[in-house]
Amino acid sequence: MDKLISKLKILAEGAKYDVSCSSSGVERRNKGKLGNSRSFGICHTWSSDGRCISLLKVLMSNNCIYDCTYCINRVSNDIKRTSFFPEEIAKITYEFYRRNYIEGLFLSSAVEKNPDYTTENICKALEILRFKYGFSGYIHVKGIPNTSKDLMTKLGFLADRLSINIELPSEKSLKILAPQKNTKTLLLPMKNLNNQIMENKEEKKKYKASKNFLPAGQTTQMIVGASQDSDYQLLKTSQNLYDRFQLKRVFYSAYIPVVENSLLPAVNTKPPLKREHRLYQADWLLRFYKFRADELLSEVNRNFDLEFDPKINWALNNIHLFPKEVNEVSYDELLRIPGIGPKSAHRIVKERKFFKLNYDNLKKMGVVLKRAKYFLTCDGRYHGGIVIKPEIIKYKLGEMENDRQLSFF
Ligand code: SF4
């Protein structure tokens, strides 16, 4: 048992830099078997930089044959190496589940021996867990690029979600920092998986009893700040992945320097957490507000302003489009007003059918106007001050931001 615990320590440590797991989005009730899967929060932990992340998180092996410069598990790094046997990881998951420590599993792995060998071991572990222990809880696995298609298919029928981590958004960065990888070998399996997910959905419409293939879809992760890639490059890649492969999520991970290397930020550099936060906000705008990467950034303006969120920045850069009259503009245009989200936009569209909305009506409806008032008119009246100038709005919003921060103390 001691041996198993020390393996667990090493392999959980090796997995903590992967943020591509989160709540599953899958709801599954126990049908006489072990374990349920919940839509939100499978289990949680705190990453080394203080973020709360879901954790069912361990590596099958940290014995990697690759040498990605930014990675703690790379072959040239001098760390303790170990691997689980499939039965071991299945048993640990089962025991932890029974003790209520976890609700599911996030199983990742370094590339041990070769991609097929690694994926075969992951499949064996999941088969034992699913069929020997009857575990029907949530499982998120890491897909290893260059694995044969048959094995990936097998994995897709055993897991709920799969992520193939892009890590770096450009061929150029991959060449410099992860020369054994290339965009093609990362994107091809994503494409295949997406096709299989679509086919499975069609099949399930015809035959309800067909087996599920990755019901929680696929995700990926990109590292922020390890390479010279701009926010624009990262966001364009995300948009591409959402458009082409219907990814459920792209996760952004602020690079935590773990190695001294002239190609990487120095070890004492702080992880770019604010940049990561802005990318998450922008990603949200892509997924739920119908923004495109090209609207938020460009070849000239390549990185997000760290002071203001991407939606305010977009509005300030496009001030000629404002103010918008809330009684006239479409739902989609309402969504583009800073401070107005889908809930408020729906309310506005519903209420304005009956009468013209004024500022007080919006307040009573619960629309948060602190930001929005600079970008809208209500029944022809502007409430943001005398002139609509980006510098003035920026100044006022900046003051608001300072007040908010001071109020924490
Ligand atoms: S393949 Fe994965 S585990 Fe191996 S060095 Fe690269 S990032 Fe690290």
**Distance from the CA of 192 to the center of ligand 1, in angstroms?**
22
The predicted model gives 300-307 an average pLDDT of: 94
Rg (CA), the chain: 24
Q: Are 252 and 315 found together in one domain?
A: no
**Distance from the CA of 70 to the center of ligand 1, in angstroms?**
9
The predicted model gives 360-377 an average pLDDT of: 92
pLDDT at 403: 58
Digit-coded pLDDT (tens) for 252-293: 999 988 778 888 888 888 999 999 999 999 999 999 999 999
Q: Are 193 and 319 found together in one domain?
A: no
Q: Are 154 and 25 found together in one domain?
A: yes
Backbone angles phi, psi at 218, to 5 degrees: -125, 155
* Tokens (6 digits) for 15: 């997995």
Please tell me if the CB atom of residue 26 comes closer than 6 angstroms to any atom of ligand 1: no
Find the domain containing 372 and state its range. Answer: 310-406
In a domain, 290, yes or no: no
pLDDT at 57: 87
In a domain, 298, yes or no: no
Q: What is the distance between the alpha carbons of residues 251 and 20, in angstroms, rounded to a whole number?
A: 6
**Distance from the CA of 355 to the center of ligand 1, in angstroms?**
60
The predicted model gives 386-394 an average pLDDT of: 74
pLDDT at 208: 86
The predicted model gives 243-253 an average pLDDT of: 95
**Whole-model pTM?**
0.86
Please tell me if the CB atom of residue 64 comes closer than 6 angstroms to any atom of ligand 1: yes
Q: What is the distance between the alpha carbons of residues 390 and 370, in angstroms, rounded to a whole number?
A: 16
In a domain, 386, yes or no: yes
Percentage of residues of the chain with pLDDT beyond 90: 69
Q: Are 329 and 250 found together in one domain?
A: no
Q: What is the distance between the alpha carbons of residues 109 and 142, in angstroms, rounded to a whole number?
A: 7
Q: Are 323 and 245 found together in one domain?
A: no
Pocket test for ligand 1, best of 59, 68, 223 (most atoms within 8 A of CB): 68
**pLDDT mean across residues, the chain:** 87
Tell which of 239, 257, 275 closes a domain: 257
Quick one: residue 265, left, alpha or beta (phi over 0 = left, psi -120 to 50 = alpha)?
A: beta
Please tell me if the CB atom of residue 158 comes closer than 6 angstroms to any atom of ligand 1: no
Digit-coded pLDDT (tens) for 214-244: 998 999 999 999 999 999 999 999 999 999 9
Digit-coded pLDDT (tens) for 99-157: 877 888 999 999 999 999 999 999 999 999 999 999 988 899 999 999 999 999 999 99
* pLDDT > 60? residue 42: no
**Distance from the CA of 205 to the center of ligand 1, in angstroms?**
38
Q: Are 321 and 248 found together in one domain?
A: no
Pocket test for ligand 1, best of 57, 62, 73, 83 (most atoms within 8 A of CB): 73
* Tokens (6 digits) for 25: 């989005």
* pLDDT > 80? residue 51: no
In a domain, 140, yes or no: yes
Q: Are 157 and 55 found together in one domain?
A: yes
CATH number at residue 40: 3.20.20.70
pLDDT tier for residue 401 given thresholds of 50, 70 and 90: low
Q: Which atom of ligand 1 is nearest to the CA of 67?
A: 5
**Distance from the CA of 2 to the center of ligand 1, in angstroms?**
27
* pLDDT > 60? residue 338: yes
User: What's the structural domain count of the chain?
Assistant: 2
pLDDT at 12: 84
Among protein residues, the one whose CA lies closest to atom 3 of ligand 1: 110
Q: How many residues in total does the chain contain?
A: 409
Q: Are 185 and 78 found together in one domain?
A: yes
Tell which of 231, 257, 283 closes a domain: 257
pLDDT tier for residue 406 given thresholds of 50, 70 and 90: very low
- Sorted by sequence, the CB contacts under 8 Å of residue 54 that are 6+ apart come out as 21, 22, 23, 41, 42, 43, 44, 45, 106
Digit-coded pLDDT (tens) for 189-205: 999 999 999 999 999 99
Instruction: Kindly tell me the sign of the dihedral angle through the C-alpha atoms of 72, 75, 76, 77.
Output: positive
* pLDDT > 60? residue 311: yes
Among protein residues, the one whose CA lies closest to atom 2 of ligand 1: 110
Q: Do 104 and 3 contact (CB within 8 A), yes or no?
A: no
Q: What is the distance between the alpha carbons of residues 16 and 11, in angstroms, rounded to a whole number?
A: 9
In a domain, 395, yes or no: yes
Q: Are 232 and 151 found together in one domain?
A: yes
In a domain, 268, yes or no: no
pLDDT at 387: 67
The per-residue b/e assignment along 128-142, b for 16 or more CB within 10 angstroms, e otherwise, is: bbbeebebbbbbbbb
pLDDT tier for residue 386 given thresholds of 50, 70 and 90: low
Which of 319, 327, 336 is closest to 381 using CA atoms?
Answer: 327
Q: Are 186 and 101 found together in one domain?
A: yes
DSSP of 310-364, one letter per residue?
A: HHHHHHHHTGGG--EETTTS-HHHHHTSTT--HHHHHHHHHHTTTS---HHHHHH
Give the DSSP letter of residue 218.
Answer: E
pLDDT at 34: 58
Q: What is the distance between the alpha carbons of residues 277 and 283, in angstroms, rounded to a whole number?
A: 10
In a domain, 22, yes or no: yes
Q: Are 351 and 227 found together in one domain?
A: no
Backbone angles phi, psi at 404, to 5 degrees: -60, -40
DSSP of 155-181, one letter per residue?
A: HHHH-SEEE---BSSSHHHHHHH-TT-
pLDDT tier for residue 23 given thresholds of 50, 70 and 90: very low
Q: Are 72 and 135 found together in one domain?
A: yes
In a domain, 106, yes or no: yes
Among protein residues, the one whose CA lies closest to atom 6 of ligand 1: 68
**Distance from the CA of 75 to the center of ligand 1, in angstroms?**
8
Please tell me if the CB atom of residue 111 comes closer than 6 angstroms to any atom of ligand 1: yes
Tell which of 216, 235, 257 closes a domain: 257
Q: Do 18 and 32 contact (CB within 8 A), yes or no?
A: no
Q: What is the distance between the alpha carbons of residues 67 and 72, in angstroms, rounded to a whole number?
A: 9
